[in-house]
Structure formats: structure tokens, C-alpha cells
Amino acid sequence: MTTPAEIQFKDVDLDVVATAVGKLAIFVDNDGKLDLGARKVNTLTRKALSRFLDSEKFERMSAGDVSQIAYPAGLAAEAVIVTKLSRRPSSQEARKAGAQLAKAQGDANLTVLAGSIARADEIALGLALRGYKFDTHKTAEKTPTGAVSFMVANPEDVAKTAAPMAAIAEGVFFTRDLTNEPANVLTTDDFAARLAAMHELGLEVEILEEDDLERLGMGSLLCVGQGSDSPSKVVVMSWNGGGDEAPFALVGKGVVFDTGGISLKTAAGMEDMTMDMGGAGVVAGVMRTLALRKAKANVVGLVGLVENMPSGNAVRPGDVVKSMKGDTIEVINTDAEGRLVLADVMWYAQERFKPVGMINLATLTGAILVALGHENAGVFSNSDDLSDSFIKAATLEGEGAWRMPMGKAYDAMLKSRIADIKNIGGRVAGSITAAQFLQRFVKEDLPWCHLDIAGVASVKSETGLAPAGATGWGVMALNRLIADKYEA
């Protein structure tokens, strides 16, 4: 797996500034005031820093922006990275600054003269997250990223607060790796094996094979994968860090590749369907984070792993399948497969674990892209308290989320002539009818959210904290939700 940069926190030692190799980073407030580290750099470079601060270029910089002074006289460093940042930045400003530092660092060693700036741990998190690279399948010789060290006034305290953030970064990286992997590598077998390996972190991991799923009556999930040579599976990951209370449940859609099945997608863009397991990837990343930081909560993560392929054995439009709950489903469109997977896994999670609440995640509908683009995930819920708590957590973590409407009136669009329900309601309100379908498999009085992450799981251009590709959206928000609402 791709691992975040190891960041060391050290005491401030201005005597090594002149000889530090690679790149030096300093922070300058909006008013151009210099701290001890910056003043040392300014002296060594014969006021080159002062001249830059008097320029229009510095004036145009926003909070968190960086600019480089290349090959400064008086220093061994190849560049000084000037970061415009308040001494007491907001969390999002600090992370932005860290991300910009990661981009400016390149492959060089980086020494960050952070001094007594607040939120050095958040700056380090932003740096770690933006430093992600997915180059596993490139054959060119890989250049390792340089070492990173932060010189801070209180290194032990900063290292202590940064430790759980390092766990978050590793969880995000795990999610990104899974979502970026091609489908010929991340098969259902390989996916399950990667999750099983997390037992080394203290997670209890159980893999339910097709025979187990048949005995449980998961006809809705099994129909999706019946056209593929890859076996369908459900993986259950349990973290028991709390007391005796019932767990919170996370459920993820894990379609490792989605052709659409018999309702075949068009060729253009089908290669992007390697990310259709993004919901399961987020669940896996959250569970990894919880285990790494030893969360004092009970959380169970369940993912349904399938591949949706056309073949002589594939489910057909017009087929009727029976869910674990017992409801019959008329399959109108085999490309509306994610909800068929989630229906059975959600019901199983409730039957077995009796959770205190449940959130499912899925790259479920193209309709959510039309509604919200790539800025926000769609939040559908039967609980104001849970949805408000999640959106608050997402906002604090800088992950866009927007609550969408639900209502019984939409259920009429899912009525079937020959079965209890159809799996799709037509073109209009597509993401809402998908949520209404899922709500049918949520027990009464259970707080529940459905997160449609089709627009945010993987994107074509870089975001604030990630390069183009998988974002890892949701790991930070869900980790915060659990920490704020469910930890002892």
C-alpha cells in the first residue's frame, strides 16, 4: 500500500538552517512579520526575503499560498518556500498550506521552520495527504520523496496531536489505493485479501463466501455478480474499542467493475468504472483509521464485493430476485446494481449487529453528479440528528456534503406490476428514488444515512488535498463523526 510521508517533529535549531539541504519552508503572516526562523533565513540570504515580501507577488498571495525563492545565496538549500499564513490559522488554512508545501517540495528533502505557529499538526496532515502518488503500475524508476522534518517549539506536544492525524492519512491513502486500482488487479478475491490483512491491526475480519450468502438468502446481492467469473463476497470488519454497547454500522458498495451488465454502458468512459467500489473503499479506510488510532468506539464495517458483467449467466432486465429481507425485486435495469448489493448487506448488518445507527456509502447514481457536481456528496437520511451530525463533521473536515430530499411520494415510481418493488424508478429524481429503494431495507426507528459519493470519490483534476484520481472523500468526515458522537 502507498504510505504517507513520515514527518518528524524536532526542536528548533537555527544553527542548521544555513546547511540544511533540499528546501526550507518558512511562514510569514499577512502583515509580513517574521518569526525567529524567517528572520534567520532573511539574514543569511542578505535580505532576499524582505525584498520578496515587499513585492506585489507576496501581496497577491492568499492564506495558505506558497512561493519559492530559488537557489538563495547564503543557504545550502535549493529553495526557500515562503508560505503566507497567520500565526493562528484555521484548520482549513493550515491544511491548505501543508498541501501547497507538498506540491512545492517535489522530491527534495524539506525542513519546515514552523516555530510556534499554531496547528503545525494540521499543516503536517495537509502535507501528507497532498503528497500521495499512485505509481504502482508505472515501470519507470521511482524517485523517493524526500524526508520531511518540522522544527517546532514543542515537538513532543505536536507529535502527540499529530499521531491520530497520521492514522487518518493512512486510512485515506488506503481508500485512494483501493479506488485507483484497475479491476484486473483489485478483483473481489484481492479486495477481500487486503481487508483480511487488517486483522494485524486488531480488526476482526470475516469473509462470507457465495455459499454463505446463498444460505443467508442474499439473492439481491448475488444476482449482480452471477455473470462474472469473480466470486461475490461480503467482508465484515469489526472494531471493538468501546464498551458493551451496540456498534455503529458502516456499509459500502464494492462493485470492483461495473459494465452495466446486460444493460451495457456505452464504451466512452467505461474505464472509470474501476472506481465503482469507492463506497467499500471508504468503509475500509475508516476502519483502518479507527484501528490505527485505537478508537474508543464499537464500529462494524461491511462491504459487498461483486463484479457486474454481461454473460450467459448474467441477471436480465425483467428478472425477479428475492432479497434477504424477503422482498421481491423486479430488475428493470441491470446497471442499477449498487442498490441491489446494498439492500442485502444493510439488512444483514441490522439483523446480526443490531447497530445504534447506520451509514451506507456508494458511487450510486449519475443523477447526483447532475445535481451536485464534484463538490458535494448527496446525503439522504431518515434522521435529522444523524444527518446534521454527519454534515457538521464533513464541514469541519472540508469535505463537501449536501442533504437531499426524500419522501413517500417518490415510492410510487418504484412500484412493480409483478414484484414488491422495482430496482429503478425512471429518469427523473434518479438519486432520490435510489435512496427511497434503500430506505425500504432500513428497519423502523434506526437512524440511517445514505451517502451518494459518485461525484466525489474520484475526479479528473486535482483537489485541495489530493492529486487527480481517487480522493478518499469521507474517511475524515466519518472518523470525526465517530470520534465526536460515538466514542466513549
Read off φ and ψ for residue 357, nearest 5 degrees.
-170, 165
**Cell 485505537, residue?**
294
Rounded CA-CA distance 70/22 in Å is: 11
Q: Do domains 7-155 and 169-485 have the same CATH topology?
A: no
- Is 138 known to be catalytic? no
The answer, yes or no, to whether residue 420 has pLDDT greater than 80, is: yes
d(CA 41, CA 77): 11
pLDDT, residue 366, reads 97
User: Where residue 144 falls among pLDDT bands split at 50, 70, 90?
Assistant: confident
Contacts of 407 (CB under 8 A, 6+ apart): none
CA distances from 431 to 215, 250, 449 (A): 31, 20, 14
Which residue did the predictor score with more confidence, 140 or 477? Answer: 477
Rounded mean pLDDT of 386-410? Answer: 98
Q: How far apart are CA 174 and CA 286, in angstroms?
A: 9
What confidence tier does 44 reach under pLDDT thresholds 50, 70, 90? very high
Whether residue 330 is predicted with pLDDT greater than 80 in this model: the reply is yes
Per DSSP, helices labelled H in 335-383 are: 338-353, 367-372
Backbone angles phi, psi at 479, to 5 degrees: -60, -45
Residue 305, pLDDT above cutoff 80:
yes
| Percent of the chain with pLDDT strictly greater than 90 | 97
Extract the runs of DSSP E, i.e. beta strands, from 323-479: 328-330, 357-362, 377-381, 401-403, 421-422, 448-452, 458-459, 469-470
339, 422, 440, 480: which one is catalytic?
339
pLDDT tens digits for range 83-122: 999 999 999 999 999 999 999 999 999 999 999 999 999 9
Is the predicted pLDDT of residue 291 greater than 90, yes or no? yes
At 224-257, the pLDDT tens digits run: 999 999 999 999 999 999 999 999 999 999 999 9
pLDDT at 488: 74
| Cα–Cα dist 347/325, whole Å | 6
The DSSP line for 249-285 is EEEEEEEEEE--TTSPPPSTTGGGGGGTTHHHHHHHH
Residue 143 predicted with pLDDT over 90: no
Closest among 256, 250, 206, 252 to 231, alpha carbons compared: 256
Q: What is the DSSP string of 34-76?
A: B-HHHHHHHHHTTTHHHHHHTSHHHHHPPTT-EEEEES-TT-S
pLDDT above 90 (res 31):
no
Q: Which pLDDT band holds residue 16 (cuts at 50, 70, 90)? A: very high
pLDDT band at 338 (very low <50, low <70, confident <90, very high): very high
| Catalytic choice (265, 392, 403, 443) | 265
Cell numbers at 16, concatenated: 542548521
For the chain, the structural domain boundaries read: 7-155, 169-485
Please state, for a pLDDT cut of 70, what percent of the chain lies above it.
Answer: 100
CA 166/CA 151 separation, integer angstroms: 18
Residue 355 grid cell: 447497530
Q: Does domain 169-485 have CATH number 3.40.630.10?
A: yes
10 is catalytic: no
Contacts of 438 (CB under 8 A, 6+ apart): 339, 342, 343, 346, 360, 380, 450
Using pLDDT thresholds of 50, 70 and 90, give the confidence band for residue 46: very high
Average pLDDT for 281-293:
98
**Segment 444-468, tens digit of pLDDT:** 999 999 999 999 999 999 999 999 9
Structural class in CATH, domain 7-155: alpha beta
